[in-house]
Amino acid sequence: MTDTTLMRSRSSGPIEMTTEPTFRRRIRRLILVSIVALGLISVLAAMSGDTAWAATALLVGGWVTMPSLLARSLVRPQWRYLLAVPASAVSAGLVIIAAGFDGSAAARFGWWLMAAGVLTGGTLGGWFWYRWWPVPASLDEPFSTGRWVLVAVHAGLVVAGGLLVAFSGLL
């Protein structure tokens, strides 16, 4: 991204809340990631005998609304503010499952890891996209190394937790 594009985008608010072409590519990638990741999490919850139906419903609701809102935000970036709703639903569903899970210790830990990962992602979204707190200059660029490290932590927690839940029956 050029400095001119970045300055133009920043003058109208954070680039995360614009139609800037390089950020639109990230949104498209997030649509695919949310379809796959939230789908897998929802399936894990539905297949687990120890999950409350309300928690599974929250996960499925997040699975449907997150990619839908992201897709709508390609045309109207202000719809990204509504992403807090499915992020909260998925976070709540995972915390409910983790807190009430009565299966193996490995699976319970996996549910907590996924909850931590999703909560981390929601916090990063609030910080970087909604600017709930000031963003340091080193993290202000959406494609900076620092941001990718934080995204990797978020994703790593979710993936590690999902793998623990999925394979805990085999251990």
Angle at 155 between CA 49 and CA 92, to 5 degrees: 45
pTM of the model as a whole: 0.89
- Cβ 163 vs Cβ 110: under 8 Å: yes
pLDDT reading at 51 higher than 80: no
Say what the pLDDT of residue 31 is.
98
In angstroms, the Cα distances linking 88 to 25, 66, 126 are 24, 11, 11
Residue 90: pLDDT band with limits 50, 70, 90: very high
Say what the pLDDT of residue 130 is.
94
Q: Which of 146, 95, 157 is nearest to 121 (CA)?
A: 157
